[in-house]
A and B are shown apart, each in its own frame.
Chain A
């Protein structure tokens, strides 16, 4: 079974600085997707970024980028130029791309990010 581990329960960053959130996962599959979701105090889950395992290039979305290391099964999220609105819970998630099990999202335990002015 696949597992997702986020070893940092809490992180903090100064406004305008850069922070990196860690995520590791375990799987025997070769094809899968990885996601970072943001959950602000409103509890609405928001997709931040996604990465296809077959793509070597790291995904980037504006100030958010990932460092995907497939061999090490590592998927970290870098937030550049942090803003107060980035404060939230961040969840790393895994989804299989195998045809028999493509739907389930497996979430990590989350990292609470605080942003200080």
Chain B
């Protein structure tokens, strides 16, 4: 089956620093990847849709300058949390959509998530 990895699985950083999270599709190409945020005991909230070779589409209320997304290749998307603050502490999950499948009949494959703690 299709596998999506995330790195790191957890990270602790100091307030004011930036942290980068990688999302990779290991055995398939992904034109589109998605970044979600999940607070404890809550649902997944879509932050942005990442398209290879173009700018990401952010959901309403998500700060573009704070959450930088780069999708430079068909197997890698990165999320950089800039000038992180304690309120950015959360669980970040990516998913990837396989390229080439026509129409709507495709799946999103999820990564295992990254736990970010900002001290």
| Whole-angstrom distance between the Cβ of B43 and the nearest chain A Cβ | 5
A108 surroundings in chain B (CB, below 8 A): 43
Give Cα A85–Cα B26 distance, bound, in whole angstroms: 26
Give Cα A42–Cα B9 distance, bound, in whole angstroms: 11
- Judge if A58 is at the interface, Cβ distance under 8 Å: no
- Judge if B91 is at the interface, Cβ distance under 8 Å: yes
Binds B, one of A11-19, A60-68, A69-77, A98-106: A98-106
- Judge if B42 is at the interface, Cβ distance under 8 Å: yes
Give Cα A102–Cα B97 distance, bound, in whole angstroms: 11
Query: Is there contact, CB below 8 Å, between B107 and A47?
Result: yes
Report how many residues on chain B are interfacial, defined by Cβ distance under 8 Å: 19
A42 surroundings in chain B (CB, below 8 A): 112
- Judge if B79 is at the interface, Cβ distance under 8 Å: no
Candidates A43, A47, A104; contact of B112 at CB < 8 Å? A43
Query: Is there contact, CB below 8 Å, between A45 and B104?
Result: no
Query: Is there contact, CB below 8 Å, between B42 and A104?
Result: no
Give Cα A33–Cα B45 distance, bound, in whole angstroms: 18
Secondary structure of the B side of the interface? strand
Candidates B46, B91, B93; contact of A104 at CB < 8 Å? B46
Candidates B46, B49, B113; contact of A43 at CB < 8 Å? B113
A105 surroundings in chain B (CB, below 8 A): 34, 44, 46, 95, 108
- Given A91-B44, A103-B97, output 4 extra A-B contacts at Cβ < 8 Å: A44-B110, A103-B32, A104-B49, A105-B46
List the interface of chain B (C-beta within 8 A of A): 32, 34, 38, 42-46, 49, 91, 93, 95, 97, 104, 107-108, 110, 112-113
Question: Can you sample 19 A-B contacts with CB below 8 Å?
Answer: A43-B91, A43-B93, A43-B112, A44-B113, A45-B95, A50-B107, A91-B44, A102-B104, A103-B32, A103-B97, A104-B34, A105-B44, A105-B46, A105-B95, A106-B46, A107-B43, A108-B43, A110-B42, A110-B43
